[in-house]
Amino acid sequence: MRRYFTTPIYYVSDVPHLGHAYTTVVADAFARYHRLRGEATRYLTGTDDHGQKIERMAAAHGKSPKGYADEIAAAYRTTWQTFAIANDDFIRTTDPDHEAVVQELWRVWEKNGDVYLGHYEGWYCVACEQYYTEKELAVGSVCPVHQKPVEKIKEESFFFRLSAYQSKLQEFYDRVLRETGRPFVEPQIRMNEVRAFVDAGLNDFSASRTNFSWGVPVPDHPGHVVYVWLDALTNYYSATRREGLQGFWDDAVDIVHFMGKEITRFHAVYWPAMLMAAGLRPPSKIVAHGWWTVDGEKMSKTRGNVVDPNRLAADVGADAFRYFVLREVPLGADGDFSHQALLTRYNAELANDLGNLLNRTKALAERTPIEIRTSVPVADLGAAQAVREVDEAMAAYAPSKALEAIWKLVRRGNEFIDQASPWKKEGQALVEILWTVFNLCRVVSHLVEPFMPEKAREMRLQLGVASARFEWNDPWRFDGSFAKDKGAPLFPRIDEERKKELLSRWMPTPTPTPTLTPLVSYDEFSRFDFRVGEIVAAERIPKKDKLLKLSVDLGSERRQVVAGIAVAYGPEELLGRRVIFLANLKPAKIGGVVSEGMILAAGDPDVVALSALDRSCPPGTKVR
């Protein structure tokens, strides 16, 4: 069967982090696994270049949206190279052929009455690129996801007639379950959520924007750009319209979209409806994985705990990262990324179990001056069983289980060496033992390939079987011979000293609590005029790495302020934030720029968090 795997196309708002690397590694493991089994497989990833968020972010960096998107998209491409991601294509929503397909679908939807013109009024969160109803907002009328102020927007807007697709979607979900025995959305818990959402009745959603222009123009309606999610979701289809792939979407292809659970609804409800409305088949499967926290905390720039996969790759190797994230958390469950756990698994499972198996095998061969070639049938130590278990696990979207099955085989190999005592044997008995452990290593090298492609290749090089063919359904069979030259260890052990060094580099150091300063009277305190201020503009100050120039709205006036927060915050994150502002601080020049006031922030000497209000109140409101 032909297979088509995709990741979300990532926003070009920032460079890739742990979460993006995770999804991309997961999808890569599936694509590589199916290729290994000889199935025709395509794998697509890319970037989501459009939308108001990107437009604003680019402006805050003083760049054009396209120029800014180009830089971040390049960082994505480089990162995927580092992680040996074997994608066949990299799509960007600014690719002209993608834009043309979005417009083509739009025309079909409009002709059939699936998009129509109306008015939209609602609360918009730019960070989510999503409208919220009054009810959905969090305490203080802020975005429930970002806790940032939302914007009230009323605009002429096209709508997508999602309401017409309720029963079609319900029937579709039922059909997938009936025909495949598995839910359309995996894991089941996410299917249940989607089903409940659809069963509750679907509303038409806003399908175009008029308040900004960074998007695909709506055909024949100047001033409207296509809603960024309609544009983005279409990527999976538009990529199959590229040269040589005509008809790909119509074929009996297994189309599987991987993503984080937070965007399941877009993929499991909007996307199939969009396709149905265009007379195209829906995808086969949505796989929604869980959410990573880091050392028990939400990952955020403000906390300074965003995990940079490139740094980990440089320190312990890209394949060790791939192995860890795939093995540590069952796909679908939320997970905590613990740096300590990464090192523990590295030493126990990669250096010890797998690395040692190969080292011992090579050492045995070195001490034994015979050619390791045999046609004598010897027991496969469970290799065929491991292959079956990997198949079952991958069919159930459980890569962590596949790795467990492979590790059972690796440990069996180590036990076999212990029990067979090759150092006491000679002649044919010795050849058989050696052949068995070599062959086991060879099988393992193929089984780990989807998960650790570079180390798998290195293993085969060291075994002298780099170009040997592997029969997935007859894994133990091998007619060639093995090489005996000893290579470098696959996974050098990380000793205590290095462990400490790595952990101190990876984990942000907590700031010590300063001792409290002497008491002040209320009179002294009341001389400070604190106000609610809204940050309405933010930019970097050339050659001053720590400083940002802000414009703060105090209701009756605007102030220019220089704030030493550039290490913790990028300018784009600050727009629209309401902070506590000291309004009667004497103006002073900071970094050569006049500053008229001060925003309050936590952290000394380095800022770690900005002050905030837990409910929305207008700029200028007195704070006491």
Active site residues: 17, 20, 125, 128, 143, 146, 298, 301
Query: Closest-CB residue for ligand ME8?
Result: 19
Q: What single DSSP character describes residue 374?
A: -
Closest approach of ligand ME8 to the CB of residue 616, in Å: 25
Closest approach of ligand ME8 to the CB of residue 51, in Å: 8
| Residue 124 φ then ψ, to 5° | -115, 130
Coil vs helix vs strand at 617: coil
| Residue placing its CB nearer to ligand ME8 in the complex, 58 or 430 | 58
| Residue 387 φ then ψ, to 5° | -60, -45
Using the contact rule CB under 6 A, the part of the chain among 16-24, 206-214, 467-475, 549-557 near ligand ME8 is 16-24
| Residue placing its CB nearer to ligand ME8 in the complex, 13 or 157 | 13
Binding mask of the shown chain, residues 296 to 335, with x at each position contacting ligand ME8 by CB under 6 A: ---x------------------------------------
| Residue placing its CB nearer to ligand ME8 in the complex, 215 or 422 | 215
Counting contacts by CB under 6 A, is residue 11 touching ligand ME8? Answer: yes
Counting contacts by CB under 6 A, is residue 20 touching ligand ME8? Answer: yes
CA–CA distance from 206 to each of 29, 123, 198, 209 (Å)? 36, 12, 17, 8
Counting contacts by CB under 6 A, is residue 259 touching ligand ME8? Answer: yes
| Residue placing its CB nearer to ligand ME8 in the complex, 9 or 552 | 9
Closest approach of ligand ME8 to the CB of residue 145, in Å: 11
Residues in the chain: 624
| H helices present in 42-159, as ranges | 52-60, 65-82, 96-111
Interface residues for ligand ME8 in 28-87 (CB under 6 A)? 48
CA–CA distance from 211 to each of 66, 152, 159, 573 (Å)? 18, 12, 16, 20
| H helices present in 126-187, as ranges | 166-180
Closest approach of ligand ME8 to the CB of residue 206, in Å: 17
Binding mask of the shown chain, residues 263 to 292, with x at each position contacting ligand ME8 by CB under 6 A: x---------------------------xx
| Residue placing its CB nearer to ligand ME8 in the complex, 146 or 544 | 146
Using the contact rule CB under 6 A, the part of the chain among 8-16, 52-60, 186-194, 586-594 near ligand ME8 is 8-16
| Residue placing its CB nearer to ligand ME8 in the complex, 263 or 278 | 263
| Residue placing its CB nearer to ligand ME8 in the complex, 22 or 249 | 22
Counting contacts by CB under 6 A, is residue 582 touching ligand ME8? Answer: no
Counting contacts by CB under 6 A, is residue 90 touching ligand ME8? Answer: no
Counting contacts by CB under 6 A, is residue 233 touching ligand ME8? Answer: yes
Closest approach of ligand ME8 to the CB of residue 529, in Å: 39
CA–CA distance from 285 to each of 267, 290, 396, 617 (Å)? 10, 16, 12, 44
Using the contact rule CB under 6 A, the part of the chain among 257-265, 340-348, 354-362, 613-621 near ligand ME8 is 257-265
Query: 352: burial class by Cβ within 10 Å (0-12, 13-18, 19+)?
Result: middle
Mode of pairing for the β-strands spanning 115-125 and 130-132? antiparallel
First to last CA, the chain: 67
Counting contacts by CB under 6 A, is residue 9 touching ligand ME8? Answer: yes
Pick one of 19, 65, 149, 317: the residue that binds ligand ME8 (CB under 6 A). Answer: 19
| Residue placing its CB nearer to ligand ME8 in the complex, 276 or 613 | 276
- Do residues 490 and 356 lie in contact, with contact meaning Cβ atoms separated by under 8 Å? no
Counting contacts by CB under 6 A, is residue 207 touching ligand ME8? Answer: no
Counting contacts by CB under 6 A, is residue 232 touching ligand ME8? Answer: yes
CA–CA distance from 17 to each of 22, 77, 118, 310, 453 (Å)? 9, 13, 39, 8, 21
| Residue placing its CB nearer to ligand ME8 in the complex, 19 or 272 | 19
- Do residues 601 and 609 lie in contact, with contact meaning Cβ atoms separated by under 8 Å? yes
Closest approach of ligand ME8 to the CB of residue 434, in Å: 44
Nearest Cα residue to 433 out of 489, 360, 384: 360
Q: What single DSSP character describes residue 519?
A: P
Nearest Cα residue to 324 out of 300, 350, 298: 350
| H helices present in 181-298, as ranges | 188-199, 228-233, 235-238, 264-265, 271-277
| Residue placing its CB nearer to ligand ME8 in the complex, 205 or 581 | 205
Contacts (Cβ under 8 Å, ≥6 apart) of 261: 190, 288, 289, 290, 291
C-alpha 68: how far from its chain's center?
Answer: 20
* Torsion angle (degrees, nearest 10) of CA 227, 230, 236, 239: -60
CA–CA distance from 326 to each of 27, 247, 450 (Å)? 11, 33, 11
Counting contacts by CB under 6 A, is residue 240 touching ligand ME8? Answer: no
Residues that bind ligand ME8 (rule: CB under 6 A) add up to a total of: 18
Look up residue 576 and give its two tokens: 């629209």
Look up residue 401 and give its two tokens: 């289980």
Pick one of 23, 157, 238, 305: the residue that binds ligand ME8 (CB under 6 A). Answer: 23
Counting contacts by CB under 6 A, is residue 128 touching ligand ME8? Answer: no
Using the contact rule CB under 6 A, the part of the chain among 20-28, 179-187, 304-312, 436-444 near ligand ME8 is 20-28
Interface residues for ligand ME8 in 362-421 (CB under 6 A)? none
The residues of the shown chain that bind ligand ME8, judged by CB under 6 A, are 8-11, 19-20, 22-23, 48, 232-233, 259-260, 262-263, 291-292, 299
